[in-house]
């Protein structure tokens, strides 16, 4: 059993108060995300905000193909078509570099010597959460560009099973400028 701090208890009560209208399952999911370190919260005179940090990775092959996530399969079998760059959430206490390496090595299976990393671009945005309507997300997005050193990496298929039961399907596509804008 997890022992909660007074701050955690106060934050959980605030979450229940702010999104109780979404139902018990959504509230429980958000509380679990908070307790796992997947987000934090901020409240000021303007509102209640869910703070999340994301590493987004633009992986470019030597012949200018880009690795994109194309489909997500949920634990219940439902599928969602997506068209976005690989990404990883940065958990509380985790360094941005650790999230980048976890995505590249653990999730996508690239060897450490198979690519080079270009400097990151940092952006922030605020928008309403699609998962938790009524809560604004403040997202800090660290975008890295990865240049592959070997052509054979492009022939690989990338299917990632995450610990939340999701299955992510990735494929290589020709360079499309809109991938820089999609998060």
**Structural domain of residue 106, as residue ranges?**
52-180
Residue 164 lies in a domain: yes
Residue 18 lies in a domain: no
Residue 44 lies in a domain: no
Burial class for 139, CB neighbours closer than 10 Å (0-12, 13-18, 19+):
middle
pLDDT at 154: 63
**E strand or H helix that includes residue 69:** strand 65-73
Number of C-beta neighbours around residue 134 at 10 A: 13
Number of C-beta neighbours around residue 107 at 10 A: 18
pLDDT at 20: 82
Alpha helices in the chain (DSSP H): 6-19, 24-35, 96-101
Q: Report DSSP state, residue 105.
A: I
Closest-CA residue to 85 (of 105, 65, 101): 65
Residue 20 lies in a domain: no
Q: For residue 30, give both structure tokens.
A: 């958000």
Residue 25 lies in a domain: no
pLDDT at 73: 93
Q: Tell whether the torsion through CA atoms of 138, 99, 2 and 165 is positive or negative.
A: positive
pLDDT at 2: 58
pLDDT at 4: 61
Per-residue pLDDT of the chain (183 residues; tens, 9 = 90+): 455 677 777 777 877 777 788 888 888 888 888 888 999 888 888 888 999 999 999 999 888 889 999 999 988 999 999 989 999 999 999 999 999 999 999 888 888 899 999 988 999 999 999 888 888 999 999 999 999 987 766 666 678 887 678 899 998 888 665 454 444
Q: What are phi and psi of 108, to 5 degrees?
A: -95, -15
Q: What is the tally of structural domains in the chain?
A: 1
Residue 23 lies in a domain: no
Residue 47 lies in a domain: no
pLDDT at 156: 66
pTM over cut 0.85: no
Residue 135 lies in a domain: yes
Q: How far apart are CA 4 and CA 119, in angstroms?
A: 38
CATH number reported for the structural domain that contains residue 60 in this entry: 3.90.79.10
């Amino acid at each position: 059993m997890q022992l909660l701090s007074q701050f955690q208890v106060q934050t959980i009560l605030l979450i229940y108060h702010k999104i109780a209208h979404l139902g018990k399952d959504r509230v429980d999911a958000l509380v679990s995300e908070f307790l796992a370190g997947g987000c934090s919260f901020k409240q000021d005179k303007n509102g209640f905000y869910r703070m999340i940090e994301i590493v987004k990775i633009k992986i470019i092959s030597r012949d200018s193909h880009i690795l994109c996530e194309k489909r997500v399969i949920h634990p219940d079998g439902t599928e969602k078509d997506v068209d976005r760059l690989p990404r990883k959430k940065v958990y509380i206490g985790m360094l941005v570099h650790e999230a980048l390496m976890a995505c590249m090595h653990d999730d996508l299976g690239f060897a450490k010597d198979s690519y080079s990393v270009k400097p990151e671009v940092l952006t922030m945005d605020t928008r309403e959460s699609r998962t938790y309507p009524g809560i604004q997300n403040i997202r800090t997005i660290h975008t890295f560009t990865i240049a592959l050193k070997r052509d054979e990496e492009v022939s690989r298929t990338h299917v990632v099973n995450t610990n939340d039961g999701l299955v992510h399907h990735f494929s290589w596509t020709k360079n499309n400028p809109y991938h820089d804008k999609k998060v």
